[in-house]
Amino acid sequence: MQIGLINTLTIDRFTPPGAFLEDEQGNEVLLPQKYLLDTYELGQKIDVFVFKDSEQRIVCTTESPFLLLGDFKYLRVTQVKPIGAFVDWGLDKNLLIPFSEQICKLEEEGYYLFVLRYDYKTDRLFGSMRVRKSLEICNEELQGHEVDLLICEQNDLGISVIVNNRYDGMIFDSNIIASIEPGDERKGYVEKVRDDGKLDIRLEPITFEKYDLAESKILGLLQDNGKLMLSDKSPSDLINKELGMSKRTFKQAIGKLYKHRRIKINKESIELVIKK
């Protein structure tokens, strides 16, 4: 049975406080009465999140927190107390962020990046803002692969990101082709795995696949609207804002569509060619 993770456990018995669940080694944990369903039966296997309640007793819940052990997430601060800050992580009991795990002053109702960690000495879960030491060095062959991104903070080089919930990445300023904010979750593409194990990330596919995707997106919008108020003369920031792609990709895509007589390019717009 693992604290901080989803465990598949078996219902062993029902009691007034709730149901006791067992793992394969015979370890027990209480699922409080408020989480029980009328359909639950003895011997049934259910998925539960295991943690400690306000009295530091190991319990479980059928609710899913916003993050599991080792996960990274932007969470809202609900209270700042003398022992630390508390954040909403999707469960009744808020998650403690000890002062020793804070890297800046936290304010109530603010959103900050945290990682869920486990203290072996006290057998407790806690949140930490020291996310860098929880990230891994990438040894995978990920160049060109699509990956999951958590958008983090802006710095002098661009925007830092967490890749696949494991690795440290960077979208350099020259590759920021869409409006993104800290806490956003989206897809990205690995341009390079650096010698230090960190990743250079782009928001567009690295191969010619991106042009196919761009063509499909443009055609879809034209089929819905008939016309787009964009052309090969439009500024890059407007194209980025409207379509989430670079001007180069946009021009390549509309050039191919024009060549195949799918669109008409005007001075300030493009139109869908209606075949008769």
Band of the pLDDT at 181, cuts 50, 70, 90?
very high
Percentage of the chain exceeding pLDDT 90: 60
- Per CATH, domain 146-202 is 3.40.190.10: no
One-letter identity of residue 183 = G
Residues 99-146 pLDDT 10s: 999 999 999 999 999 999 998 887 889 999 999 999 999 998 888 889
Distance between CA 275 and CA 192 in Å, rounded? 43
Distance between CA 223 and CA 221 in Å, rounded? 5
Q: Return left, alpha or beta for 123; rule: phi > 0 is left, psi -120 to 50 is alpha, else beta.
A: left
CB of 38 closer than 8 Å to CB of 54: no
- Which regions of 93-145 does DSSP assign to beta strands (E)? 95-98, 111-119, 124-128
Mean of pLDDT values over 62-71: 96
Helix 247-259 crosses helix 236-243 at what angle (to 10 degrees)?
80
Residues 201-248 pLDDT 10s: 998 876 655 667 788 888 889 988 888 999 888 888 888 788 877 787
Q: How many H helices and E strands in the chain?
A: 3, 18
* pLDDT of res. 231: 87
Band of the pLDDT at 177, cuts 50, 70, 90?
confident
One-letter identity of residue 31 = L
Distance between CA 191 and CA 208 in Å, rounded? 14
Architecture of domain 6-61: Beta Barrel (2.40)
CB of 94 closer than 8 Å to CB of 78: yes
CATH 2.40.50.140 region(s) of the chain? 6-61, 72-132, 146-202
Q: Which CATH number is associated with domain 72-132?
A: 2.40.50.140
Q: Which two tokens mark 109?
A: 């109702």
* pLDDT of res. 236: 82
Q: Report the DSSP beta bridge partners of residue 86.
A: 79, 96
Band of the pLDDT at 276, cuts 50, 70, 90?
low
* pLDDT of res. 206: 67
Res. 160: pLDDT tops 90: yes
CATH 1.10.10.10 region(s) of the chain? 209-272
Q: Which two tokens mark 247?
A: 């001007």
Band of the pLDDT at 57, cuts 50, 70, 90?
confident
CB of 21 closer than 8 Å to CB of 48: yes
**Residue scoring higher pLDDT (218 or 48):** 48
Percentage of the chain exceeding pLDDT 70: 97
Q: Classify burial at 12, counting beta carbons within 10 Å of its beta carbon; exposed 0-12, middle 13-18, buried 19 or more.
A: middle
Residues 14-32 pLDDT 10s: 999 999 999 999 999 999 9
Distance between CA 42 and CA 202 in Å, rounded? 51
* pLDDT of res. 159: 96
Overall pTM > 0.85: no
Q: Which CATH number is associated with domain 209-272?
A: 1.10.10.10
